[in-house]
Amino acid sequence: MRPLSLTHLFRGNRAHARQDARGETSASPPRPQSGAAESFYIGPPLGQRTPPRPGAPGSPPAMRPRASLQGAAPPTGRPPAAGASGPASGHSAPPAEVLGALTTMPLLPLDRIAGMTRPGGTPLHPHVVGAFARGAPLRPVVPGGPMPWDHTRLSVDVLATSTDGAVRRYPPLSDGRRDLMATGAICDIPAAHVKQRIGGIELTPDRHSAAFMVNGRPVPPLKLGRFQGHPLPDGRMLVLQPDQDQGAMACALMLLLDQGHLPPGRADQFQPEEGHRAASLQGITGPLKAMAGLEPVVVSHEANFHQFGRRHAARNAFWKEMADRIGTLGPAILDRGRGHVVLDNVRKEGGSYRITIRDPFHGTCVEFKDTHDFFKDLDHSGGKATLDAVFLPRR
């Protein structure tokens, strides 16, 4: 299968329209223009080695790139200020590394992963389709050792059938806590409500590998410090959370990239919070403020949980507020109770809302029709539910 080149991916950019609560069509928030879209480094096709750097023995003559990842227009589409070469310093940021060799990720034998099979070799979880490692080092096999496995659940991503019948990616465990993969939990949205799948981690057609697929073709990932990112057709990035505790931090990195506060080539400067603090409101706003030098905007929406889950009017009020905020501030990090997603767009179509999210847990970007299923995991002690949305002003 031929991978989708990043040039081809971004050439398909198109303007998205959004309808406000009155049903009027309005332009969506500013998105990367052609200069920013074409700024992504083009990796080699699948099966080819990365070409040597200019000046190295056997390399072709140096060519001036059309744009570097960090150099041209920030994600807002505005040109950089005169003399500016990046937000971090006066030196140009290096381009993000394209993980060309990982365009597709071969599935691993389950019996080589600790805790995935029974003593006889049968799968411990029948709904598991396969597992893959995103560059994790192999565990050396010690002769006579008690754990002769190459990997553990702490180092592999698992593809498993969720409760709605769809196959999803489940990130590695961060510790010995409950694995959401075991129950087939859904952290984005049930498949029945999805209107458009924009991109996501899925099985390749031969069912031998996993890949981030856009329009049926694999797209090579980018190394973003401790994280891995996948370009989307609109010029934004879907960042995978590296384990089951880092969803909010992956969302924070997406906002920093979206809003032009951090070029992909300097993503290693992002220092995520760890442990329980990584999912707290202070744990999200702290790294955003430290990297952007701006105060994040926190919008809290409180509603009666039962009305919110059963009545469209309560949800419509929330979506109307989010649409207005996105129009002025850009995307937001939304805490859904079970996990965090990036809320990209809210528009009205046919009398109901359509919502676009990037989910770092499953590694999906989808547009779906408003449903109470999106909110079923909210904390609703005392019958009240509070949704916190974190925005970051543009650079």
The whole-number pLDDT of residue 24 equals: 42
Report the DSSP beta bridge partners of residue 168. Answer: 160
pLDDT per residue, tens digit, the chain (395 aa), is 666 655 555 444 444 433 443 444 444 444 433 333 333 322 333 333 333 334 444 433 333 333 333 333 333 333 333 333 334 434 455 666 666 456 888 999 998 898 899 988 889 999 999 999 886 444 444 454 444 567 888 889 999 999 999 999 999 988 766 789 999 999 999 999 999 999 999 999 899 999 999 988 899 999 999 999 999 999 999 999 999 889 999 999 999 999 999 999 999 999 888 877 777 888 899 999 999 999 999 999 887 766 666 666 778 888 999 999 999 999 999 998 778 999 999 999 988 899 999 999 999 999 999 998 888 877 666 677 788 999 999 97
Contacts of 269 (CB under 8 A, 6+ apart): 88, 225, 262, 291
Nearest to 340 by CA among 226, 249, 257: 249
CB contact at 8 A, 170 and 179: yes
Nearest to 14 by CA among 188, 189, 198, 194: 198
Contacts of 25 (CB under 8 A, 6+ apart): 17, 18, 19
The verdict on residue 99 lying in a domain is no
The whole-number pLDDT of residue 185 equals: 93
The boundaries of the domain holding residue 304 are 104-138+147-391
CB contact at 8 A, 338 and 377: yes
CB contact at 8 A, 387 and 335: yes
| Exposed/middle/buried for residue 142 (C-beta within 10 Å: 0-12, 13-18, 19+) | exposed
Tokens of 18: 């959004």
Domain count, the chain: 1
The verdict on residue 79 lying in a domain is no
* Segment (H or E) for 356: strand 352-359
**What is the CA 181 to chain-centroid distance, rounded?**
18
Tokens of 366: 């989808």
Angle CA(75)–CA(105)–CA(66) in degrees, nearest 5?
Answer: 35
Place of tokens 């057609």: 205
Instruction: Look up the pTM and report it.
Output: 0.75
Assign residue 174 a region (left: φ > 0; alpha: ψ between -120 and 50; beta: otherwise): alpha
pLDDT digits (tens, 9 = 90+) for 113-165: 988 999 888 899 999 999 998 864 444 444 544 445 678 888 899 999 999 99
Place of tokens 């384990």: 243
Inter-helix orientation angle 281-292/247-258, to 10°: 30
| Exposed/middle/buried for residue 29 (C-beta within 10 Å: 0-12, 13-18, 19+) | middle
The whole-number pLDDT of residue 69 equals: 36
The verdict on residue 239 lying in a domain is yes
The verdict on residue 84 lying in a domain is no
Tokens of 174: 């961060």
DSSP labels for 187-209? SS--GGGEEEEEEEEEE-TTSSE
Return d(Cα 65, Cα 382) in angstroms, integer: 58
Assign residue 330 a region (left: φ > 0; alpha: ψ between -120 and 50; beta: otherwise): left
Return d(Cα 229, Cα 360) in angstroms, integer: 10
The verdict on residue 33 lying in a domain is no
Nearest to 237 by CA among 331, 313, 157: 331
The verdict on residue 161 lying in a domain is yes
The whole-number pLDDT of residue 367 equals: 98
C-alpha distances out from residue 327 to 30, 146, 149, Å: 9, 57, 50
The verdict on residue 370 lying in a domain is yes
The verdict on residue 51 lying in a domain is no
